[in-house]
Amino acid sequence: MGSCMYPVERGAYKLLSEIGNGVSAVVYKAQCLPLNSTVVAIKVIDLDRSRPNLLDDVRRETKAMSLLSHPNILTAHCSFTVGRHLWVVMPFMAAGSLHSILSSSFPLGLPEPSIALLLKHTLLALHYLHAQGLLHRDIKASNILLDSNGSIKLADFGVSASIYEPLSSAATFSPFFNDLVGTPYWMAPEVIHSHVGYGFKADIWSFGITALELAHGRPPLSHLPPSKSLVIRITNRFRLNHDDHYHHHQYQYLDDEDAKKKNKKNKKKFSKAFKDMVASCLVQDPSKRPSAEKLLKHPFFKTCKSPDHLVRHVLQGLPIIEERLKESPLHPPPPSSVDGDDDDDNGSGEVTKIRRISGWNFNEDVFELNPVFPCDKKEDPSPITSSFYSSSFLEGGGKDGDRKRDDRVKVKEEEKKKDDEIHEKGNEEEEVEEVGLLGWKSRTAETLGPELISLLNSLSLEKEMVMNLLESCRGEGMGIGDWEEEREQRLADMVGKLQRTVDGLTIQLKGESAKNAALEKELQGLKDKNLT
């Protein structure tokens, strides 16, 4: 499938060292022996861990890619299979990805002039792709690569999309049925929550998230495992224990003092132009987000430095790429989604709430993106719900958007107050109802096989997605009038199917748990016998 002078056989390349790894691929620094031992990067994708028709799509996209030519887009030299692996040969970018630069040398984020330059070149690449009618679908710091001369290239176009892309365009929710999906932190809300699917404006959302990633050193909510960045469980302890490392970063629950401090720090740190640019990308309604072309005209990109600036301020003194890989990650790993971590523990009488994220609220002042939860209609049929929905879903950015965003913050504060009151009451009925399946999971997590638990986790997540979708269709301002009946029927079928699978698994889990309890009892009996 290679159309260039780069040979398409394994023997022509000598692997030198590992320089990175992703979900189902390892990246190596290598030499192309017949081409004067030119140094290249080779991404080796494990086909057994990728979706079935990956190869066909990669072939198709390699073809599309060979027609692309832009200084800010990294195009592969060629690709070929070696056994059950796909090798993608590409230019070696000596300074590695922005993700690896952030984690090794800028854990709290990069300085603004460098960010402006990096984002501008990324945006030029994105504008070019969009103008060709192509989507990137995976904009994030780990896909922005730097060379030692400061040149910036957007990578993984095509290849990553093929690995993670839904099986067909009809399968709108497939990223979540496909357990090869990458992390969802960068995904636009319409991709996660609705039937709209992926469009150009979803790339713009991810671009906004990437801007926050470069500013803070990590994307919003990345301290949570992927499943929890979509469906968040909140316990009393979650709120009260501000010293807990992960929970400390729950910005939506920062107390006033914390919020003020953070506010002050970030206000000083970033310009109004930067905040405004990011805010325009992180508007809930995709149609209100600017196109890449329009975004390029934003004042934030007016006074960008030359790539030499990056060499002096970012790349100088950076450990070489192989060294960086050896370093332990600066951010502690997120708690495993299988582990039944502490907020799952409702055995100690704590109230656990499972909340679906219904929207996002970009707070320009503190320069952070906060999840928004729907009000609990059962307990609170107040107009807050509808006012929130109408402002967050239907209104956009711009000057007017600023005011609306402020309103949303106010609404959120009120919502939080109400939520707190509900929690203080310690409503037992709510506890039983809301803990539901996940509560059952946590009680059996210690005794059951990890596969069952992770299967259950992913089913719960999928169920949440479908529920979210249905809820947003029923919700205010998102009428289903324009929906075909057939589609609704399909969704209902899906929910039914998922529910049946979840029920089946729950029964299975109960059975396993009973078996385990019996075995444990037997074991204890044997131990007691041995002692006597």
User: Is the Cβ–Cβ distance between 512 and 452 less than 8 Å?
Assistant: yes
Stretch that binds ligand ATP, among 140-148, 188-196, 351-359, 415-423 (CB under 6 A): 140-148
User: Is the Cβ–Cβ distance between 36 and 14 less than 8 Å?
Assistant: no
d(CA 29, CA 32): 10
30, 73, 86, 93: residue in contact with ligand ATP (rule CB under 6 A)? 93
* Cβ neighbours of 374 (radius 10 Å): 18
Q: Which of 57, 12, 59 is nearest to 37 (CA)?
A: 12
| # binding residues, ligand ATP (CB under 6 A) | 23
Per CB under 6 A, 155 contacts ligand ATP: yes
Q: How far is the CB of 18 from ligand ATP (least distance, A)?
A: 9
Phi/psi of residue 445, nearest 5 degrees: -55, -35
Which residue bears the tokens 């990650």?
329
Per CB under 6 A, 143 contacts ligand ATP: yes
96 or 397: CB nearest ligand ATP: 96
Stretch that binds ligand ATP, among 89-97, 198-206, 290-298, 493-501 (CB under 6 A): 89-97
Residue 65 DSSP SS3: helix
65, 78, 145, 459: residue in contact with ligand ATP (rule CB under 6 A)? 145
Per CB under 6 A, 31 contacts ligand ATP: no
Structure tokens belonging to residue 108: 């709290």
Q: How far is the CB of 165 from ligand ATP (least distance, A)?
A: 12
Q: How far is the CB of 356 from ligand ATP (least distance, A)?
A: 25
d(CA 244, CA 258): 14
User: Is the Cβ–Cβ distance between 296 and 123 less than 8 Å?
Assistant: yes
Q: How far is the CB of 155 from ligand ATP (least distance, A)?
A: 6
Stretch that binds ligand ATP, among 18-26, 46-54, 114-122, 283-291 (CB under 6 A): 18-26
8, 12, 16, 22: residue in contact with ligand ATP (rule CB under 6 A)? 22
Phi/psi of residue 338, nearest 5 degrees: -95, -15
Q: How far is the CB of 151 from ligand ATP (least distance, A)?
A: 12
Cβ burial 282-299 (10 Å sphere, 16+ → b, else e): bbbbbeebbebeebeebe
Per CB under 6 A, 100 contacts ligand ATP: yes
Sequence-separated (6 or more) residues with CB below 8 Å from residue 456: 437, 441, 502, 505, 509
Phi/psi of residue 248, nearest 5 degrees: -60, -30
138 is catalytic: yes
Residues 164-193 that bind ligand ATP (CB under 6 A): 182
User: Is the Cβ–Cβ distance between 461 and 356 less than 8 Å?
Assistant: no
20: β partners: 27
Q: How far is the CB of 181 from ligand ATP (least distance, A)?
A: 9
Catalytic residue among 48, 138, 203, 407: 138
DSSP element (H, E) containing 21: strand 13-21
25 or 283: CB nearest ligand ATP: 25
114 or 444: CB nearest ligand ATP: 114
19 or 435: CB nearest ligand ATP: 19
Q: How far is the CB of 46 from ligand ATP (least distance, A)?
A: 11
Stretch that binds ligand ATP, among 23-31, 326-334, 344-352, 384-392 (CB under 6 A): 23-31
Angle among Cα 40, 110, 220 to the nearest 5 degrees reads 95
Per CB under 6 A, 222 contacts ligand ATP: no
One DSSP character per residue, 148-209 reads: TTS-EEE--TTHHHHHHS-SSTT-TTHHHHSTT---GGG--HHHHHSSS---HHHHHHHHHH
Q: How far is the CB of 131 from ligand ATP (least distance, A)?
A: 24
Stretch that binds ligand ATP, among 21-29, 300-308, 337-345, 351-359 (CB under 6 A): 21-29
Stretch that binds ligand ATP, among 86-94, 346-354, 359-367, 422-430 (CB under 6 A): 86-94
DSSP element (H, E) containing 23: none
Per CB under 6 A, 6 contacts ligand ATP: no
15, 23, 135, 311: residue in contact with ligand ATP (rule CB under 6 A)? 23
Stretch that binds ligand ATP, among 15-23, 53-61, 349-357, 424-432 (CB under 6 A): 15-23
Per CB under 6 A, 144 contacts ligand ATP: no
115 or 321: CB nearest ligand ATP: 321
73, 89, 90, 453: residue in contact with ligand ATP (rule CB under 6 A)? 90
Residues 35-64 that bind ligand ATP (CB under 6 A): 41, 43
- Burial (CB < 10 A; 0-12, 13-18, 19+), residue 312, is exposed
Per CB under 6 A, 78 contacts ligand ATP: no
For residue 338, give the DSSP letter.
S
Q: How far is the CB of 94 from ligand ATP (least distance, A)?
A: 7
Per CB under 6 A, 96 contacts ligand ATP: yes
Phi/psi of residue 371, nearest 5 degrees: -75, 155
50, 75, 97, 442: residue in contact with ligand ATP (rule CB under 6 A)? 97
- Burial (CB < 10 A; 0-12, 13-18, 19+), residue 74, is buried
Q: How far is the CB of 231 from ligand ATP (least distance, A)?
A: 21
Residue 12 DSSP SS3: helix
Residues 350-389 that bind ligand ATP (CB under 6 A): none
For residue 328, give the DSSP letter.
P
Positions touching ligand ATP (CB under 6 A) are: 19-23, 25, 27, 41, 43, 90, 92-93, 96-97, 99-100, 142-143, 145, 155-156, 160, 182
Catalytic center residues: 138
